[in-house]
Amino acid sequence: VTGSESPLTYRDAGVDVDAADRFVAAIAPLVRATHTEGVVGHPSRFAGLIRADVGGMGDPLIAATCDGVGTKVLLARSEGDFEALGRDLVAMNVNDLLPVGARPILFLDYLAVGRLDSERLVQVVRGAAAACREAGCALLGGETAEMPDLYRPGEFDLAGFAVGVVDGERLPDPASAGPGDAVVALSSTGVHANGLSLARRALFERAGFELDDVIPVLDATLGATLLTPTAIYVDDALGLMDAVAVKAAAHVTGGGLLGRAGAMLSGGLTVRIDPDTYARPPIFDLIASAGDVGDDEMAATFNMGLGFLGVVSAGDAAAAEEMGWLHVGEVVTGEPRVDLGYARR
Amino acid sequence: VTGSESPLTYRDAGVDVDAADRFVAAIAPLVRATHTEGVVGHPSRFAGLIRADVGGMGDPLIAATCDGVGTKVLLARSEGDFEALGRDLVAMNVNDLLPVGARPILFLDYLAVGRLDSERLVQVVRGAAAACREAGCALLGGETAEMPDLYRPGEFDLAGFAVGVVDGERLPDPASAGPGDAVVALSSTGVHANGLSLARRALFERAGFELDDVIPVLDATLGATLLTPTAIYVDDALGLMDAVAVKAAAHVTGGGLLGRAGAMLSGGLTVRIDPDTYARPPIFDLIASAGDVGDDEMAATFNMGLGFLGVVSAGDAAAAEEMGWLHVGEVVTGEPRVDLGYARR
């Protein structure tokens, strides 16, 4: 069948197993530095093992979530950019554990690449490992898939998975919220990792900006602004939950501030957010202007400057503010929609 | 900035949020059907919650793993193919929990697509849900990312993530193995989801086969043979571990039978597998012949017909055989390499 052609190898097929081994060796110390006390070693390398600290919990539950960073990967060019993406990947996942009050214990990454560019991927893992340390979770494993026929050279995708633990007796209970409760929030660092497809269309295709353009109102390049990693809210969110009763919470991701705030409560309750209570990062108005994007579309796509929301009793709002939270609005009765009060400025 | 162009929306940017909502609604009953007793509902949808059944465990540990199905996604065309891929995705992950003896409790999927083709993706989830039921784990959540600028229409990638629990007092201990121990194995259903890049190069590029070709020795089309889903070894592996002391175990994935058998033991021990103890599926010899692939390269890439390996005392081999395992070889002293004894047949 094969005629005079040379024997085919896995490497001929675009998969460099030796490069993969070198990559694994390069990231090993980064990964080990994230290993918390609970991590259990085992010579079998198929799965990571960790002993969850659930002492004192009346009803220990496991929380699990999965997320990627979307088309934000298309913006990365420098080493620092790739490190930022790794940090984003962890942040997007561990933050998703917080609305139920779960403390992150482990994270796994899935790196899909066309060709294994070890330097870039090591930067991704470096950023992920640093973020895991900040979030207090172990980077317990992951998968790096080299798929030359699925991804073009230089193309790649990132997905992550996080697991946390929470006491089932202490889950936030949105049904306990009522009119007059306070809505508190944590600032976002920018667009985080949602809405990038729309942002790129508006800024680069419609308005003709380039990544290296320095935008005066941003006081930075567009690339640096868009690639600012997602904030990690673990300490702030769990700290507030330890201090006061948080009735509902939301990580402001897909669906934007409108979608996530709108889904936080039910039963005829909604939230009203006063846009004058916080400084909206200028990148959002730049995107809106560049793409002539409507207010509702902006609010249904982007976090608009608020990355995490919580609902607490009005009497607890001051305590939240002392802990660094913004008091941005209140719970009101009404149709389950959100009036963000945005007028184009 | 925008001149006379119409306002830009997220949908213009290639992201159809309504289609995503319809997809989520379509898969909801499939997902719910996997929900085991431990699944805990919560109005917050950012993370799934599950109560792990760790009763009776002296040292409950959480095991976590991440894997994809590689370039196998490039072969799928029919509805049944996509269902098979979903099954593969679960199998590749839950099987990775078994070498440490962990029982799968939850699975999450990451579906990355260029455009949300709801019918195909529902089939993927249908297959994943059926596999989760077979593996006894809940399909607790997942992420579907529509990224038109990263994946061409019709292109997609799948990654999965599984969590299990195991008693730390009952982990397999490879250091307890010694010369004369028996190597037992479970048959694979074919190539599973490793080595597809090499298989495609050999079969389609070198030998000029097509997916629809009926190959007499396979008694099926090449497409159907290659897309046969990975076997799920949960019941067989945990059943053996409940019955006898399994000293070491391996899921035969990346690195092939050579790599995975070779890494199963250390300390001057290796395993000898007798190729005459089991029927090697003919697809492997077809790939080797089509690509003139050497024996070592085949064994270092493919499972060669054995999907899962275990090491037990010689006296326990008969019990394993009664439970459906193959007695394929033994533990021997020697350099940590594996003599598979393959001669091209």
Note the ipTM here.
0.93
CA-nearest residue of chain A to B302? A10
Q: Do B112 and A202 touch (CB under 8 A)?
A: no
Q: Which pLDDT score is estimated for B343?
A: 45
Mutate to test the interface with B, among A21, A23, A89, A143 (most CBs of B within 10 A): A143
Per-residue pLDDT tens digits for A198-216: 999 999 999 999 999 999 9
CB-CB neighbors (< 8 A) of A264 in chain B? 44
d(CA B219, CA A89): 45
Q: Which of B49, B164, B172 comes nearest A44 by C-beta? A: B172
Whether residue A1 has pLDDT greater than 60: no
Q: Do B61 and A46 touch (CB under 8 A)?
A: no
Q: Which pLDDT score is estimated for A2?
A: 40
What residue type is assigned to position A141 of the chain?
Answer: G
Q: Which of A7, A49, A292 comes nearest B7 by C-beta? A: A292
CA-nearest residue of chain A to B138? A64
CB-CB neighbors (< 8 A) of A4 in chain B? none
CA distance B221 to chain A (A): 18
Whether residue A98 has pLDDT greater than 70: yes
Who contacts A157 (Cβ-Cβ below 8 Å, separation ≥6)?
A68, A73, A111, A112, A151, B112, B147, B150, B157
Q: Do A64 and B46 touch (CB under 8 A)?
A: no
What residue type is assigned to position B265 of the chain?
Answer: L
Mutate to test the interface with B, among A6, A8, A152 (most CBs of B within 10 A): A8
Whether residue A41 has pLDDT greater than 60: yes
Q: The tokens of B64 are what?
A: 């976590």
Per-residue pLDDT tens digits for B37-82: 999 999 988 999 999 888 889 999 999 999 999 889 999 999 899 9
User: Which residue did the predictor score with more confidence, A298 or A20?
Assistant: A298
CA-nearest residue of chain A to B301? A10
Q: What are phi and psi of A249, to 5 degrees?
A: -155, 160
Q: Which pLDDT score is estimated for A344?
A: 42
Q: Which pLDDT score is estimated for B338?
A: 60
d(CA B257, CA B252): 6
Q: Which pLDDT score is estimated for A227?
A: 97
Residue B278 and residue B321 in contact, taking contact as beta carbons nearer than 8 Å:
no
Q: Do B1 and A206 touch (CB under 8 A)?
A: yes
Mean pLDDT, residues A88-114 taken together = 97
Whether residue A337 has pLDDT greater than 70: no
Q: Which pLDDT score is estimated for A15?
A: 76
Q: Do B74 and A13 touch (CB under 8 A)?
A: no
CA distance B2 to chain A (A): 6
Q: Which pLDDT score is estimated for B203?
A: 97
d(CA A164, CA A302): 26
Q: Which pLDDT score is estimated for A216?
A: 92
pLDDT (tens digit, 0 to 9) for every residue of chain B, 345 residues total? 344 568 888 888 877 778 888 898 999 999 999 999 999 999 988 999 999 888 889 999 999 999 999 889 999 999 899 999 999 999 999 999 999 999 999 999 999 998 888 889 999 999 999 999 999 999 999 999 888 888 888 889 999 999 999 999 999 999 999 999 999 999 999 999 999 999 999 999 999 999 999 999 999 999 999 999 999 999 999 999 999 999 999 999 999 999 999 899 988 899 999 988 999 999 999 999 999 999 989 999 999 999 999 999 999 999 999 999 999 999 999 876 666 665 443
Mean pLDDT of chain A: 92
Who contacts B49 (Cβ-Cβ below 8 Å, separation ≥6)?
A61, A62, A63, A100, A102, A166, A168, A171, B39, B40, B41, B42, B140
